[in-house]
Structure 1
Amino acid sequence: MKASTRRRLVQGVLYAVFILVVLVVVLLADWDTIGSYFFNLEVAAETFPEIVVIAARNTILYTAIAFVGGLFLGLLLALMKLSPVLPYRWFATAYIELFRGLPALLVIFGFAFAIPIAFQWRPPGGSAGAGLMALIVVAAAYIAETIRAGIEAVPKGQVEAARSLGMNPAWTMVSVVLPQAFRIITPPLTNELVILIKDTSLLFIAGMALGERELTVFARDSVTSQANATPLVVAALMYLAITLPLTQLVAKLERHNKRGR
């Protein structure tokens, strides 16, 4: 049998298996129960407008705060890791490895409960503030590595040219290296933003007041009060409405960077 014939045969079998699985799911599923429990339009209507003006708004707000805070802290950590001063490199490396290795949920729990108890400290913003601080700390570890990689990807000739013009190292970093590094790392930074949008769902562990609820907590509370899972589907659609444009932006930026290279 020719290789091309064998390849077409394998593809045909895979298509047939996929179609068979879809047919089995369609025929065995209880669509009446699924429709009434997950896609109840009356229950979905009752989540509006609060799911937009409170839950979605808070999700976007928490994401923006965590991303901006993580970006500034991550930039500082990246510069420390590239510093010729050994203690700075040690500290930045230890921080990055620690918070990249810990689950974000555990870090949020620590900031919301363990640290306040241990140090008799009340975080600004209460439980939501503690959760946001934890997200900033975790996001900074990942963003720091992304920025470091971007800085190291800038051609060394750019630095040498700037230094030959009399620029000092700090000004060379600010005016020459960082603008090019951020252009390189824009797609992965946007991916980090998308991850943060989903990570805001972990803030439930810290406890939320009614006006502080984000999409997941709002949907969970609505499911409890309505005894119906439709709010979860609505929340999922809201997440997709926020994240899909960003993922498309990432793809567009990656294509743009490839054309630029």
Structure 2
Amino acid sequence: MRITTRRRLTRAGMYVLFFAVLAVVILVTDWGRLAQQFFQLDIARDQFPEIITIALKNTILFTLISFVGGLVLGIVFALMKLSSVAPYRWFATAYIELFRGLPALLTIFAMAYMVPIALGFRVPGGQVGAGLIGLILVASAYMAEVIRSGIQAVPKGQAEAARSLGMSPTRTMGWIVLPQGFRIIIPPLTNEFVLLLKDTSLLFIAGSTVLTKELTTFARDGLTNTGNGTTLVMAAMLYLLITIPLTRLVAVLERRLARGR
């Protein structure tokens, strides 16, 4: 048998297997029960407008706060890790490895409960504010490595040319290297934003009020009150409404950067 014929038969067999499995799933699924448990229109209507005006708004707000805070700290620690001063490098490395190694849920819990009790102070914004600080710490550790890789990806000739023109090391980094490095890391930073959007669901561990619920907490409370999973489906759809365009944007940016290179 020719190789091309064998490949065609293999491909055809894979199609047949896929559609056979799909047909079995369609036939054995109790669609009526599924609709009753997850797609009740009256329960869905009852979630509006709070699921938008409170839950979705808080999710986006918490994501933006965590992203901006993580980005600022990430730049600082990326520069410290690239510093010629050894203690700066040691501290930045320890910070990055610590918060990349710990689960985000544990970090949020520590900032919301353990640190305030141990140090005897109340974080601004209460437990939600403390949880956001935990998210910022985790995000900054990951962003620091992304930013560091972007800085190191800029050709050394760029910095050397700037220094030959009389620019100081600080101005060279701020005006020449960092802008070019950020152009390179836009896709991974966008991915980090998407991850943070989903990680805001971990803030439930810090507790919340009626006005500080994000999507997952809102949906979980809806499930508890109604005994129906419709609220979970609604929250999932709102997450996808944001994340899918962002992931598509990342793909477009990566293709453009590849063509630019």
Q: Quick check: TM above 0.5?
A: yes
TM-score after normalising by structure 1 = 0.99
Shift of 1:5: 1.5
Q: Give the stretch that moved more between structures: 116-125 or 181-190.
A: 116-125
Q: In structure 2, what is the Cα distance between the partners aligned to 1:33 and 1:48?
A: 24
**SS of the residue 2:121 aligns to:** coil
- Residue equivalent to 1:87: 87
1:91-142 Cα distance to aligned partner (Å, 9 max, x none) = 0001111111111011111111111111112111011101100000000000
- Residue equivalent to 2:70: 70
- Residue equivalent to 2:244: 244
- Residue equivalent to 1:24: 24
Runs of at least 4 residues off by over 4 Å: none
Shift of 1:193: 0.2
TM-score after normalising by structure 2 = 0.99
1:198-231 Cα distance to aligned partner (Å, 9 max, x none) = 0000000110111000000000001111111000
**Counterpart amino acid of residue 7 in structure 1:** R
Shift of 1:245: 1.3
- Residue equivalent to 1:42: 42
- Residue equivalent to 1:223: 223
Q: In structure 2, what is the Cα distance between the partners aligned to 1:26 and 1:136?
A: 43
Q: In structure 2, what is the Cα distance between the partners aligned to 1:138 and 1:62?
A: 14
- Residue equivalent to 1:132: 132
Q: In structure 2, what is the Cα distance between the partners aligned to 1:24 and 1:255?
A: 38
Q: Give the stretch that moved more between structures: 20-29 or 158-167.
A: 20-29
Q: Give the stretch that moved more between structures: 10-19 or 102-111.
A: 10-19
- Residue equivalent to 2:178: 178
**Counterpart amino acid of residue 207 in structure 1:** G
**Counterpart amino acid of residue 216 in structure 2:** T
Q: Give the stretch that moved more between structures: 72-81 or 92-101.
A: 92-101
1:6-52 Cα distance to aligned partner (Å, 9 max, x none) = 21122112111111111111111111110011011111111111100
Q: In structure 2, what is the Cα distance between the partners aligned to 1:12 and 1:108?
A: 50
**SS of the residue 1:210 aligns to:** coil
2:108 matches 1:117: no
2:157 matches 1:157: yes
Q: Give the stretch that moved more between structures: 194-203 or 239-248.
A: 239-248
Which segments of 5 or more consecutive residues in structure 2 lack a partner in the other structure?
none
Which segments of 5 or more consecutive residues in structure 1 lack a partner in the other structure?
none
**SS of the residue 1:221 aligns to:** helix
**SS of the residue 2:27 aligns to:** helix
Q: In structure 2, what is the Cα distance between the partners aligned to 1:188 and 1:52?
A: 28
Q: In structure 2, what is the Cα distance between the partners aligned to 1:192 and 1:139?
A: 8
**Counterpart amino acid of residue 16 in structure 2:** A
**SS of the residue 1:146 aligns to:** helix
- Residue equivalent to 2:257: 257
**Counterpart amino acid of residue 153 in structure 1:** A
Q: Give the stretch that moved more between structures: 61-70 or 218-227.
A: 218-227
2:33 matches 1:33: yes
**Counterpart amino acid of residue 109 in structure 1:** F
Q: Give the stretch that moved more between structures: 250-259 or 129-138.
A: 250-259
**SS of the residue 2:211 aligns to:** helix
Shift of 1:259: 1.6
C-alpha root-mean-square deviation of aligned residues, in Å? 0.7
- Number of matched residues? 261
Q: In structure 2, what is the Cα distance between the partners aligned to 1:3 and 1:201?
A: 51
Q: In structure 2, what is the Cα distance between the partners aligned to 1:233 and 1:47?
A: 12
- Residue equivalent to 2:190: 190
**SS of the residue 1:211 aligns to:** coil
